Chains A and B, each alone.
Chain A
Amino acid sequence: DAGVIQSPRHEVTEMGQEVTLRCKPISGHDYLFWYRQTMMRGLELLIYFNNNVPIDDSGMPEDRFSAKMPNASFSTLKIQPSEPRDSAVYFCASSLAPNTGELFFGEGSRLTVL
């Protein structure tokens, strides 16, 4: 298996623009997680899905953030409109279980909002 695949790897955009990050989890993994990593706040869980259904979105910072999982092999994290404070590395991860199994992380999407 190719592992968790994220795109784009790097995104530079201007404030106010819409940003869409994409993730393909490992086949057979029922759980998909979106994390944000910054120096100040570390790794923060934004939202996670079980069988394509959002289970916990309490980490989503604002209404500007939304996430979808239309099928078992694809998820998106959208920021609209983007702001400079959204600059971070966004990781997608998948696993067989929510808290008791290994999390497999993608290589991340580094977002810079100017």
Chain B
Amino acid sequence: GQQVMQIPQYQHVQEGEDFTTYCNSSTTLSNIQWYKQRPGGHPVFLIQLVKSGEVKKQKRLTFQFGEAKKNSSLHITATQTTDVGTYFCAGDSGGGADGLTFGKGTHLIIQP
């Protein structure tokens, strides 16, 4: 079945440094979504990418969808303590019946 891999599993950064997490799928995706989960909280939707090569920005967050629609990345510029949490990608292979497949997430730890 479809597999979605995320790296790194953990990332420690100093406040103000940039952060990037990468997502790779074993199959071509029809779309990819990104979620953020704060410690002790629940996943919250950030964005959805649909088009090959798509780039979307939300303030300090930049999301990219690869040309082959098999990979994606989330980049945070100048991290802040409020960025702490786990970032998940979730892919859909377009089969329609399987629901989204989530990566295991990247845990972002920020040192002040």
Contact = CB atoms under 8 A, between A and B. Distances in A.
Interface of A: 33, 35, 41-45, 48, 55-56, 91, 93, 98-100, 102-108
A55 B99 CA distance: 10
Contacts of A98: 96-97, 99
B97 A42 contact: no
A108 to B, nearest CB: 5
Given A55-B97, A56-B97, A100-B31, A42 B41 contact: no
Which secondary structure dominates chain B's binding surface? loop
A99 B92 contact: yes
A13 B100 CA distance: 30
B31 A105 contact: no
Which secondary structure dominates chain A's binding surface? strand
Interface in B1-37: 30-31, 33, 35
